[in-house]
């Protein structure tokens, strides 16, 4: 077999693997339960990781005293958070566990630091986008509430997909009631 044929086979195998990963990701986004969460932004001050907006959801800091489930976690251990959809349509954590509870809407993450407040990561803390889109999103997340609004929630909400694996995936954002779903292709 010639070297060009070998290189062609290697390129075909690599391309096939990338297509498989892309299709798997899109399938997980499309088949998972859709959740909408409150979101706030903050400035990462890291110029070496590309253009992204840092976002924080109610999953970032879990108050173990107010949530059902377990009360002690080791750093870097798996965290399973049971979510409930409220009357306003937003997903909120209601229980946190060291092991999968077996039923319900359960998101899987990792404990970063544990104390009275459990800090956890769910791989949704960074939203990568073009430079202009990332900066525009950060600006929207930093805007103060509009006149007449009593709460401090922004008009930007995060749309997530929760597949059977429990790994949350960002689908897009809801901005002023209008859905903006990211397209992979």
pLDDT in tens, 91-126: 999 999 999 998 889 999 999 987 889 999 999 988
**Could you give the maximum distance between any two Cα atoms of the chain, in Å?**
73
- Per DSSP, 89 falls in state S
Backbone dihedral angles phi then psi of residue 78, each to the nearest 5 degrees? -65, 145
Range of the domain at 36: 32-181
Residue the block writes with tokens 């965290």 = 79
pLDDT digits (tens, 9 = 90+) for 142-152: 765 555 555 54
User: What's the number of domains the chain is made of?
Assistant: 1
Q: How far apart are CA 49 and CA 140, in angstroms?
A: 21
* Assigned domain for 21 exists: no
The neighbouring-strand residues paired with 119 are 61, 113
Nearest to 98 by CA among 82, 83, 86: 82
Confidence bin at 153 (pLDDT 50/70/90): very low
Q: Residue 20 falls within a domain, yes or no?
A: no
User: Could you tell me if residue 72 is inside a domain?
Assistant: yes
Tell me the C-alpha distance between 183 and 172, whole Å: 9
- The pLDDT tens digits of the residues spanning 53-83 come to 788 899 999 999 899 998 888 888 999 999 9
Give residue 111's pLDDT: 92
Report yes or no on 2 lying in a domain: no
Per-residue pLDDT averaged across 3-26, rounded?
A: 95
Percent of the chain with pLDDT over 70: 87
Q: What is the pLDDT at residue 181?
A: 85
Integer Cα distance of 64 and 114 in angstroms: 9
Residue 52 lies inside a defined structural domain of this protein? yes
Whether 66 is in a domain gets the answer yes
Answer yes or no: is 37 within a domain.
yes
């Amino acid at each position: 077999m010639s070297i060009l044929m070998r290189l062609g086979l290697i390129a075909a195998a690599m391309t096939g693997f990338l297509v498989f990963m892309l299709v798997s990701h899109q399938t997980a986004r499309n088949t998972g339960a859709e959740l909408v969460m409150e979101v706030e932004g903050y400035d990462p001050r890291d110029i070496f990781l590309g253009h992204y907006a840092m976002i924080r959801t109610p999953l970032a800091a879990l108050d173990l005293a107010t949530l059902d489930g377990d009360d002690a976690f080791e750093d870097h251990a798996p965290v399973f958070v049971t979510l409930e959809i409220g009357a306003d349509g937003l997903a909120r954590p209601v229980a946190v566990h060291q092991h999968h509870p077996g039923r319900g809407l359960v998101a899987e993450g990792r404990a970063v630091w544990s104390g009275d407040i459990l800090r956890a990561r769910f791989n949704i803390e960074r939203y990568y986008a073009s430079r202009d889109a990332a900066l525009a999103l950060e600006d929207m997340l930093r805007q103060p509430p509009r006149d007449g609004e009593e709460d401090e929630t922004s008009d930007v909400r995060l749309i997530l997909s929760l597949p059977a694996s429990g790994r949350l995936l960002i689908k897009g954002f809801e901005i002023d009631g209008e859905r903006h779903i990211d397209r992979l292709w």
